[in-house]
Structure 1
Amino acid sequence: MPIYAYRCDSCGFEKDHLQKMSDPVLTECPECNQDTYKRQLTAAGFQLKGQGWYATDFKGSGKPAKKEPAPACQSCPGAEACASN
């Protein structure tokens, strides 16, 4: 069941309500009993748990990306890569 955020325009009272999608929208504020209680437009929250979901579901080929070697440092002759880069 979705959780809907509500806010009263009269007193500013805010509360989240667990409701079925088929339940009627609440209009009466539980704090001040005015008919100014409105459902707020909020982003849906979700959390992805576990390992590997990104590499297997959303990455192009599912293979790990290849790392490019660091460029040679210009100030350190003969050095393959430098920490200053």
Structure 2
Amino acid sequence: MPIFEYTCKQCGKEFERVVFSGEEEKITCPECKSKDVKKNMSASTFMGNSIGSCATSFPKGPS
């Protein structure tokens, strides 16, 4: 399920929502009910721990 992080431009509340295609216009702040919200960039969780293991599995260059 697509979970997005938002910040309300009116009160500053940060919140998450499950948003399906076509529902982006319906997002409102749970605190002040404003529709003036900004979608935040967030780290993707689909990679799990692979980032750490990939970074450490590369051979080290000459020291």
The TM-score bracket by the shorter chain reads 0.5 to 0.7
Q: Output the aligned Cα RMSD.
A: 2.6
- Count of residues in correspondence between the two structures: 52
Displacement of 1:13 = 0.8
Between Structure 1 and Structure 2, whose CA radius of gyration is higher? 1
Contact 1:27 1:38 in 2 (8 A): no
Aligned counterparts of 2:38 and 2:15: Cα–Cα separation in 1:
10
In structure 1, the residue matched to 2:42 is 42
Question: Which structure has the higher relative contact order (CA within 8 Å, separation 6+)?
Answer: 2
Deviation at 1:6, TM superposition (A): 0.9
Structure with the larger helix share: 2
The unaligned stretches of length 5 or more in structure 2 are none
Q: TM-score with structure 1 length normalisation?
A: 0.46
Q: Which residue of 2 aligns with 1:11?
A: 11
Bigger share in strand: 2
- Find the aligned partners of 2:41 and 2:18 in 1 and give their Cα distance: 15
Seq. identity, %? 31
